[in-house]
Structure 1
Amino acid sequence: MTTPGIGQLDADLQRTVRRTSYMRQLFYVVVLLVALAGQVSGAVEALGIPLIWAIPAVGALELGGIVVLANADVRRRLGERATASRFLSAIIAAFAVAFNWMAHDNKLLAGFFAGMSALGYLVWLMHTENQRRDRLRAKGDLPPTTPAYEVVGHWVRHPWMTLRAKNLAKADPSLGLYGSLSAARAEKRKELRTSAISKVLHRKIRAAVDPTTADIAVAVYDLDEIAHRLADGADYDGLTALIAADLAPARLAPNGALPAPAKPEPEPLPVIDTQEQLALPEPPKNEPAPEPATEQSPASAQAPSFSPLGELRGEIEGILPPPRKPRTRQTTAEIAEEPTLSPTPLVREGSLRSQVYQILHEHIPAGDQRDVVALTTFVGDLLDLDDVERLTASNYVRTWKREADAGRRTAVNGRHLEDVMPAKR
């Protein structure tokens, strides 16, 4: 499929314009006849005017707005505003529409005739405005049409850049769609560059002279020329080396340490045939069997003497505190005097469990919210228990609290009754 040339497009456009002109004229004649029929029938029915006089009367009314509008268009092409003619044309058209609406009793028919009358006037108004804009554009008084920019890709994503490109396309129609966008981006970069150079130049000159002189210098010097000379003398190799130094792997690695390269995988050990081991000759009787010599695999024979466990042990010994000195005899004697975990004989009557249960039943009300630690402290203070006895009593307290939480506090059966009642010795 070949792309049509500019000449072929111009020829197609001319044929389309002529075809549209013929269709518009035919459409306006039909609309005018329908509106005129409505005006005539309304004048005959509502005003009682004879048909022979009603036709020229309403025809003048219907065509009056178009004639005045054409006169206003001629005056506007000559450079005038023609405000009075345009206003009078609008009043005549509005009167014709209102007369078609009010002159018929059937409002559906009245709306049809009134709509046709308004449609004919609006079509002619748009045609005259199009012709006026074409004349202004041909004379250079109206900017040319701009490219059709994309709604989402241009207007939604980059509205200000697209508006700048549209203005550039108005000033230079040869840019086209993508040329205007590229020119807009270049203009934006130029503005940013000029603003940065202006600030630096103003600060440098103001450091040597007064601010007014700095303003004059910024206004006089060609900032674009300064930008071009800076671009010509830019040291790209030095700037690239400066950035490459910051991106070096040794600088980016934590603590400046690079990761160790991956070690090659060890070769698999050779497989020893078990049948050969079973085929060894049996040692003679009454003689000690010689110990079979263990064959070292090639991998184990070539293994280095360095062991990673030794290095790990050295790191652990460096972290742990130094070993303690051996205990003396005095320290051993002191440890021997410390209490052991074996419970001491109780002087109180009954077992420790029965005493703990009895204290809890007598002093702890229902719904008590204290935990096992608080209850153990309470029982230990009442019974004057030592540390070992408190540890044992804590288990009894935990069992009692579990039963109490489950609603079995009063379940003192025969197994508990013997422990609760003091035993007579």
Structure 2
Amino acid sequence: MTETTKTRVIGAGNGWRILAALVVGIAAGVLVSASGDGWRDPAVRWAGAIGGIWLDALKVTVIPLIVALLVSGIVGGARAAAGGGVAGRSILWFVVVLTLSAAFGGLAMPALLSFFPLPEQSAEALRAGLAGVDKAATAASVPTALDFARSIVPSNVLAAAVNDQILPLTLFTAAFALAVTRIDKPRRDDLVGFFQGIEQAMLVMIGWVLWIAPVGVFGLAFALGAGAGAAAFGAILHYVALVMLVGLGVTAAGYGIAILFAGWRLRDFARAMVPPQAVAISTQSSLASLPAMVGAARRLGVPETNSDVTLPLAVALFRATGPAMNMAVAVYVAYWLGIDLAPWQLFAGIAMASIASYWAVSLPGSISFVTSIAPIALAMGLPVEPLAILIAVETFPDIVRTLGNVTMDVAVTGAVSRKADPQD
């Protein structure tokens, strides 16, 4: 993606404008609800229609974008892995950590919800506000073990795309991308160029949709506030706090890797990480934190030949907090809607969260939120409509996402470097 395209997309996804639309929308919905049914019902219908149109515009770009991103990401990762021993070991670490991160999110969020449940009165009010979300399809979509196994391989990939059967579609796309890495270079480059073109076009379209996001989010938030009342604010804060806790858990795991696998003392690692973590919190950008991460790695004794390979790869391919926090969001959506998740739904979500992390790289938070979490929700048989509300508060969890990613990037760099040292 060119720098100009990135700038247009990032500017279109201004998180603070969307957050303001959420707050104002909920507050307006609460006020209209208190004024009586004469105003409430027509206003909710119009607001819901406006929000629904915006949501449909956002959803229509998801499948083409994730297919294009996954093909580009897998082919690019395979090229990097073939480029040297350090690169190959780095990518192996990325795959292991991302998979464990997804499993952690799938286990941690249910545990947090059991220890810190949303007050029942608030939960009921919120479900009333989300009454427009159709749960019937969700209940019918819970697979048995046999159904789940049969659904993994699609008999018709186009039908899978049309029917939002996201897990089999993604597995087919991953297999196709791996096959692309085995064909001759000219044809491989042609195919990658084709999918990169789709990727850039979809990102521009999403940029347009996100530019009008405050209007859509206002409509959805208005309907939520009218149905749930002031309880909607408490539910949003409860969600933000628990998702951030999951992200902080992944950050803590980064310290564990630094101590156990990189061989660093906790005090030394914590001291070296202060500059890159400060940049991460202030910019919410792993790329902007890269120079400070390089400095931290050198202060910790990582050879330049290792850090100069692993850290750029990590910035390009590795989002350690993504699978855990994305899985946590999907589980919370089920909790909001009062849906009890079956084991196969959790398994499907963890598998999809692991895979989805590979196409979330180098995307602004607003875009990666949709393209990473919507497939997880669909794979679990959950509605994606609540995500349009939650995207408005992603500004705060995104701080924890970047903090954890930067911490894990340096920790894994140390682990790869120690493994590469023949004297260790």
Shorter-chain TM-score: what band? under 0.3
Structure showing the higher helix proportion among its residues: 2
Structure with greater Cα Rg = 1
